[in-house]
A and B are shown apart, each in its own frame.
Chain A
Amino acid sequence: MTVHTGQSTAKAAGEGARGRGRATGERPGRLRRALSTHWYAWTMVAPVVIVLGVIIGWPLGRGIYLSLTDANERNVGRTIGANHIDATYEFVGLDNYVDVLNDPIFVQRLVWTVVWTVCCVSTTFLLGLVLANMLNRQFRGRAAYRMMLILPWAVPGFVSVFAWRFLFNRDNGLLNKVLDGGGISAVPWLDDPTWAKFSVIAVNVWLGVPFMMVALLGGLQSIPGELYEAAEMDGAGPWKRFLYITVPGLRAVSSTVILLSTIWTFNMFPVIFLLTRGGPGDSTEILVTQAFRQAFVESPRDFAGSATWGVLILAVLMIFAFVYRRSLRKQGEVW
């Protein structure tokens, strides 16, 4: 009985170890030793490894494969009623990539996606930093302010986006009525390409500030107060204290939140999809909504094309993360 249990444990854990490649020792002795010391850890991470492997690893591989084929709605395998129709799409190599990269639309979308990301992240970060610094002081009503400022975070994103659509409505929206009352003619918030771009950025900033503010506030609170006192003794003014204590003290937090929010904004689907559907025309379409449109909105659904856009988006982000990490490392940040 005991022998049996031991074997099955070793077998189960052994599979986990093999999945992780290098961990497999050259000799069974080493493997067994690794197992007996690490099986607790491996069991604990197993659910995540399995979920990520199946739901991200497999689709990722499949997505890359699809991007190398001509799959679309008409030629993928499907089951209609009792009949199963086999897939007839073919491997086409890098054709999709050549097509997309030669298409001026790709550059257009990429430029707007980068502009959108840079505008959103920088504005969100600056506002978050200002508000976090204000909330980090002692004054009456601090908790109430914090509560109100975090509120946009507590509301599901799509609800907020609908609220903004309501406010932005051209003829009946509150914003235009207020402007009208002030004698300013109505602004076509979502109907004019330039205003639509402004509007989607504004909404995304509104959505993103609470997260930024909370993270930076946490960072501020972890900076020891003695540092400020010492600096003040040495005669440093508020600006100098901010520059030489606050900024370096926030570096770890800010480098992480900037990286995360850049990635999130770059891939921010709901704001654009729900606010403008990429319109008017295609003026606010970012890379991600473009990919979604090809696979789920346009007909026939272009699965291969969508996957190609997806791989390109991932490539852009990986390059960004790599460069970002190197520049951090140059500044001496171990990360």
Chain B
Amino acid sequence: MSSQRGKRSPLASVGLHATLIGASVIAVFPVLWVLLTSLKPAKYAITTDFFKDTTLDNYRYLVDKTSFFTWFGNSALIAGVTTLLGVFISATTGYAVSRFKFPGMRPLMWTLLITQMFPMAILIVPLYNLMGQLGLLNQPVGLIITYLTIAVPFCAWMMKGFFDGIPVEIDESGRVDGLNPFGTFWRLILPLAKPGLAVTAFYSFITAWGEVAYSSAFMVGDENLTLAGGLQTFVTQYTANWGPMTAASVLIAVPAAVFFLFAQKHLVAGMTAGATKG
């Protein structure tokens, strides 16, 4: 009976593949097109030829004539530290709310959810003033702290879901062996939660790597810009320097895509854990 269900009529099969191929083309094409354009001389950037005089000139221009690598370095530093701190504190929080019943837990869970609702619009001006007073404008630290507030609430929810899926007996055996809760968390549970950590790391990284509003507002001056701010300098209202811009886009997308490749097989499990048990 169930083997019957697995079979599809040839027509249904064609429909399935046709739809998926169509969707995949739409998903991949914009990205692919940018990649192809970046490999064409700038004067052909706006032609429809897929390949024309393939060259690395745009990349060379980017390296020689712009501050691209400064921006890249700024973004890498900010995203890297955000990821490390974000993973660590969302893991401890997720573990605490998953394993302990403590006064203040429910309000905390609610706060984490409600934080998702805060429009950047209400926080950005006071944060801008606060960072100004603390001397953190144009400093990576300012952005790192800001990004933590965006990434951590959602990550903590996801981590809670992951920890909920790890049997409590493991904690108990750790306690029997004389570990305190920190030891249990650090030595036994954290290694088991690696998929969750991968998802959390990916989410924190992509949040920091791709954020636009705060970085546009907080960072000024060519040498302080992050990639999001730097890329905007290639496009003004009237002209667009498509050649270098596409090359920059490719270089920006690569680290994110690599990170994604490592995390992607855990993403499905991660999202479900966060979404259903959250």
Contacts and interface: CB of A to CB of B under 8 A. Distances in A.
Given A150-B264, A158-B212, A309-B121, A48 B275 contact: no
B217 A159 contact: no
Interface residues of A, number: 111
A214 B245 contact: no
B59 to A, nearest CB: 15
Contacts of A150: 27, 260, 264, 267
Query: Which residue, A56, A167, A303, A307, has most C-beta atoms of chain B within 10 A?
Result: A56
A119 interface: no
Most buried by A among B24, B99, B156: B24
A64 B132 CA distance: 19
A166 B267 contact: no
B271 A63 contact: no
A63 B90 CA distance: 26
Interface stretch (A2-10, A93-101, A255-263): A255-263
Contact of A174 (B48, B107, B253): B48
Given A62-B126, A148-B28, A48 B120 contact: no
Chain B interface main SS type: helix
A328 interface: no
B16 A314 contact: no
A273 B212 CA distance: 9
A38 B117 contact: no
Interface string A209-226: 111001101110110000
A217 B268 contact: yes
B272 A253 contact: yes
Contacts of B5: 228-229, 232
A195 interface: no
B212 A177 contact: no
A125 B51 CA distance: 36
Interface in B72-107: 89-90, 92-93, 95-97, 99-100, 102-105, 107
Contacts of A266: 119
A38 to B, nearest CB: 4
A253 B275 contact: yes
B78 to A, nearest CB: 13
A310 to B, nearest CB: 3
Contacts of B206: 156
A48 B97 CA distance: 12
B159 to A, nearest CB: 11
Contacts of A22: 103-104
Contacts of B95: 44
B222 to A, nearest CB: 18
A171 to B, nearest CB: 8
Interface stretch (B63-71, B146-154, B190-198): B146-154
Interface in A153-171: 153-160, 162-167, 169
B260 A153 contact: yes
Nearest to B237: A277
A283 interface: no
B278 A256 contact: yes
A109 B218 CA distance: 26
B75 to A, nearest CB: 9
Nearest to A58: B130
Contacts of A201: none
Nearest to B30: A163
A233 B2 CA distance: 9
A248 interface: no
Given A52-B149, A147-B264, A165-B235, A62 B129 contact: yes
A310 B275 CA distance: 27
Contacts of B264: 147, 150, 154
A45 interface: yes
Nearest to A252: B276
Interface in A195-210: 206, 209-210
A1 interface: no
A296 interface: yes
Given A134-B16, A155-B253, A291-B119, 17 more contacts: A20-B103, A44-B95, A56-B149, A137-B16, A141-B17, A155-B256, A159-B34, A162-B34, A166-B240, A274-B212, A274-B232, A287-B119, A288-B121, A292-B120, A306-B125, A307-B122, A321-B114
The 7 A-B residue pairs with the shortest CB-CB distance, nearest first, are A310-B122, A218-B272, A291-B121, A156-B210, A172-B46, A154-B260, A59-B126
Interface of A: 17, 20, 22-23, 34, 37-38, 40-42, 44-45, 47-49, 51-52, 55-56, 58-60, 62-64, 66, 76, 78, 127, 130-131, 134-135, 137-139, 141, 145, 147-160, 162-167, 169, 172-174, 177-178, 181, 206, 209-211, 214-215, 217-219, 221-222, 228-229, 232-233, 252-253, 256-257, 260, 263-264, 266-267, 269-270, 273-274, 277, 287-288, 291-292, 295-296, 303, 306-307, 309-311, 313-314, 317-318, 321
22 contacts: A44-B93, A52-B115, A52-B153, A55-B127, A55-B149, A59-B130, A76-B129, A134-B16, A151-B31, A156-B228, A159-B231, A166-B33, A167-B30, A206-B30, A210-B27, A215-B275, A218-B275, A222-B272, A232-B1, A252-B275, A256-B276, A295-B125
